[in-house]
Amino acid sequence: MNVSQAKALVCFPVILLLSQSAMGANPAHGKDLHNANCQSCHSSLMGGKPDTIYTRSDRRVSSLDGLRNQVTRCKTTVGVAWPNDQVEDVVEYLNNNFYKLK
């Protein structure tokens, strides 16, 4: 392996990581993850109306960090192995559709 190849091997993962960060969260993917992993529990908690967990008057989430923490707690409770980018996808979906936090 020459020096150019070695540099390319070192730089490629960094470039890949930066490009993924620049693209941002994917709310459509977040909706799919949410529907597959969250709906049934929320439905049982909210009398068959799962989305009302986000719109109730006594909801606990009032900031993006709080929403991120809640999604992380729920994914841990359910036992799904979402990496951070998938957590961000779900956060983006929930914020765009229910919370509207800045």
Residue 76 forms part of a structural domain: yes
Q: Which amino acid is at 44?
A: S
Residue among 62, 61, 79 at smallest CA distance from 70? 61
Residue 54 forms part of a structural domain: yes
Residue 52 phi/psi, 5-degree rounding, is -70, -10
Residue 56 forms part of a structural domain: yes
Residue among 75, 92, 95, 90 at smallest CA distance from 34? 90
Residue 16 forms part of a structural domain: no
Residue 89 forms part of a structural domain: yes
Residue 87 forms part of a structural domain: yes
The single-letter DSSP state of residue 95 is: I
Residue 65 forms part of a structural domain: yes
Task: Please tell me the predicted confidence (pLDDT) of residue 21.
Answer: 44
Residue 11 forms part of a structural domain: no
**How many domains, the chain?**
1
Residue among 18, 37, 42 at smallest CA distance from 87? 37
Answer whether residue 6 shows pLDDT above 50: yes
Please give the residue that has the higher pLDDT: either 5 or 98. 98
Q: pLDDT for 44-78, tens place per residue?
A: 999 999 999 999 999 989 999 999 999 999 999 99
Domain region containing 90? 26-99
Q: pLDDT for 22-41, tens place per residue?
A: 469 999 999 999 999 999 99
